[in-house]
Amino acid sequence: MLGPMNESAPASVAFAGVTKRFGDLTVLDGIDLEVHAGEVLALLGPSGGGKSTLLRLINGLEIRDGGTLRVLDRDVPLGPPAALPSDPWWRDLRQEIGFVFQAFHLYPHKTALENVTLAPVAVRGRAVDEVEVEGRALLERVGLAHKADAMPRQLSGGQQQRVAIARALAMDPRILLFDEPTSALDPEMSAEVIEVMRALAAQHDRTLIVVTHEFGFAREAADRVAFLEHGRILEVGPAREVLESPQHERARAFFERVL
Ligand SMILES: Nc1ncnc2c1ncn2[C@@H]1O[C@H](COP(=O)(O)OP(=O)(O)O)[C@@H](O)[C@H]1O
Ligand SMILES: [Mg+2]
């Protein structure tokens, strides 16, 4: 098992001096951050601080303006995002990266099971029968074996998000990115999703970067916590240390406000 202390583990994601601007607005301002293989990192901070943008750089939904970014031992190029959808380099890398969004983004006209099996069949060209068996097992893992044939509109928000997690896992990605996966959910549904995420985090078999306001999850399931504000990582360290005794005044103020 890889843990936070395993400094010799290869960096799964490594930002060095990364900047990102939208027009005149500097959204990420010199990000230095290494996330190790198998590590669980919780990314916390106020709205507008750049958390989503940081995640989106990792799978090429945005392209940085400066600095270097390595993902799974590959140097991420600088280049126009418009070129990305058809770019084979990005297509290859994205197969290794799962992304779970706040708004689920399931395919509305496909069943839960079809949502899970679509990519392995379409992208990997795998046999439908084989992928269906795995898809059902993944749905079972997120507590939804009985909903395999349900359409997204027949599922609660919490159930849809758990299908989205199963879908992300179906490609067996080495990196899983979560962008406020429970922010659109009521507390009960959040708890269902968090339970699934805790189980994933406990395995330490892939890299998890989780943008969240769920402090319980961050404290108990994350190896490290990073605090991002105004495009800068003001503090990063072991989860309990950062959350219980933040060194940076801005982090302290934020945690007090949110907790
Ligand atoms: N595509 C975009 N075009 C212009 N500004 C953007 C775009 N995406 C994000 N921003 C701005 O970048 C800043 C950081 O946004 P974001 O990364 O979404 O922060 P967070 O996820 O921490 O709330 C915000 O000021 C936001 O308005
Ligand atoms: Mg965001």
Q: Which ligand is nearest to the CA of 44?
A: 1
DSSP SS3 for 3: coil
- Identify the helix (H) or strand (E) that includes residue 198: helix 187-203
**154 lies in some domain:** yes
Cβ of 183 less than 6 Å from ligand 1: no
Q: Which portions of the chain are predicted below pLDDT 70? A: 1-9, 80-85
Q: How far apart are CA 117 and CA 129, in angstroms?
A: 10
**20 lies in some domain:** no
pLDDT at 84: 67
Helix and strand numbers, DSSP H then E, in the chain: 9, 10
Q: Ligand 1 centre and the CA of 148: distance in Å?
A: 35
Cβ of 231 less than 6 Å from ligand 1: no
pLDDT at 83: 62
**248 lies in some domain:** no
**183 lies in some domain:** no
**159 lies in some domain:** yes
pLDDT at 143: 96
**87 lies in some domain:** no
Q: Provide the domain limits for residue 121.
A: 109-172
**220 lies in some domain:** no
What digits encode the pLDDT tens for the residues 237-252? 999 999 999 999 999 9
Looking at the structure of the chain, the number of domains it has is 1
User: Per the structure block, which two tokens stand in for 192?
Assistant: 């269902």
**22 lies in some domain:** no
Cβ of 206 less than 6 Å from ligand 1: no
For a pLDDT cut of 90, what percent of the chain falls above it?
87
